[in-house]
Amino acid sequence: KLLSWFIAGKCPASGLETRCNASIAGYQVSGRVDIDSVSQYQDTMAHFEHTLDSNLDALSTASMVRERCFARVGFIGNPSDGFNGKTVAFLLGNYWAEVTVRPSSMMSIVRHPEHDPLEFTSLMDYHRHTSLNGYYGGLRLLQAACKKFAELCVNAGVAEERLAQNFTMSYETNIPRMVGLSGSSAIVTAAFRALLRFYRLSVTADLHTSESQLPQVILDVEMAELGITAGLQDRVVQVFGGVVHMDFGKHHLDTMGHGIYTVMSPKLLPPLYLAYNTNAAGDSGKVHSDVRKRYLEGDTFIAESMQALGALADKLKEALVTGDHDAIPALLRENFRIRRTVYGDAVVGARNIAMIELAAEHGFAGKFTGSGGAIVCCRDTSLSLAEAGGDEGAPPKKRQKGEEGGASAGQEGASASASASASSSYLLTA
C-alpha cells in the first residue's frame, strides 16, 4: 500500500526515503519519515492503516472521532500563570494537534512513525533527532490522557457499560517541537475532547466538572501523571479558544478551584509577528523548576516579579479593549525584561536573547510565546527605522548566514484565532 501510494504520485519520493509535504489522511506531514528496517515499515504501516482506507483515502466512519487543538501564544504575563499571576494568551490557527479515535476490538494507542521513533540509522541520527525533538513524542501524552480520563469516569460514577466500546487512538501534529507553542498540551486537550465525543459524555453532566475546571484536569495529566512542570495558561486558552485574559489569583484557585477567565475577540489583536528558532528550543519543565522552588520557599523577589508580570496582563487587556495598540510594544518589552531578570541569561539562553534583539533591530518589540524558542512581536510604530537600528527608507539589514540569532523554520501568514484566521500575524524574518 505504501509503495503504491508513493507511485500514485501523492507524495514525491526517492526510494523509501521522502521529505513529504503532501496531505495524508487530511493532515500535513510535518517532517521526514525514513524507512530503514522491517520494524519501521511495520510501524509506518500501522499508522497509515488507522488513518487511511483500502483506497489510501482518509477514513470516513460515522463512529470515528477527530478532535483538533491549536497551538498557544502567550501574549503577555507568562510565566506568572504558574505563580498565581495573570496572563493573556491566544490560539494560532496555523499550527495544531489532532487526535483520532475509532472503534476497534481491543484498546490500542498507535505510535507515530515520525514523532515516536525507536530505531535510528546511526548514533548521530539519534543525536540529531533527540537534539531537535527531545526524548519524548506524543505517545506518553496519549497514554496519560487515557488513564486520567478513565479515573475521571470512575470517580464520577460513569457506568462501565458506557465505556465498553474499545478504540484505537492515533495522533498527528504540525506544531513545532520544543519552541514554546504548547504542543504537548494541545495533544492532551485534543485527546480529552476526542474521548468525550467518542463515549458521548458531557463534562458537566457526566464527569461533574465545569468547563473552568477542565484546564486543571488536563494540566494534571502532565504534572501528576508525567511529572512535567507547567502552568494553567496553555490549557485554559486551548479549552476556551480565541483570546483569553486569565487571573490565577490564589484566592480564586483556593475557593473556586479555577481562575477567572475572560474571553475576548481575536479582532481586538493588532497585527502580530511570530518567529521561532528550533535551535533555541528548550524544555519548559527544566526552565521553570528552580524559580518555582524559590517561589514556594517564599522568595520575595520572585513573588513581586510575578505580580509585576500579572499587572502587565491587566494593562494589555485594557489596551486591547480601548484599541490603544501603541501601548502594547512597551508592555512586551517589559515582560521580557522581567523574565530575563528573574531567570538570568544562562537560563533564558543566548540564542533566545539574540532573537529578541534581532526583532528590536527591525523595529519590533517581542517576548517569548512560552519558555523560549519562539517569540511574538508587535511593530513599534513610535520608532523610525533609524531609531530601530536601520536607515530611514531602507530595508533592514539581514544577518549573514551563521550569525547568532537568526529566526528560522516558520510559516508566513500565521493567524490568531480559535480555529481560523481572525487577526493578521506574520513571520518575522531575519
Instruction: Show which residues are catalytic.
Output: 234
Q: What's the first-to-final CA gap in the chain, in angstroms?
A: 42
Triad 17, 21, 25: Cα angle to 5°? 100
Handedness of CA 16, 27, 175, 47 (dihedral sign): negative
Quick one: DSSP state of residue 230?
-
The DSSP annotation for 8-39 comes to TTSS--BTTEEE--SEETTEE--SEEE--SHH
Which residue has cell 523577589? 301
Q: Are 273 and 425 in contact (CB under 8 A)?
A: yes
The DSSP annotation for 352-364 comes to HHHHHHHHHHTTE
> Which cell numbers in the block locate residue 50?
488507522
3-state secondary structure of 173: strand
> Which cell numbers in the block locate residue 241?
479558544
Measured distance CA(167)–CA(63) in Å, rounded: 10
Beta bridge partners of 261: 246
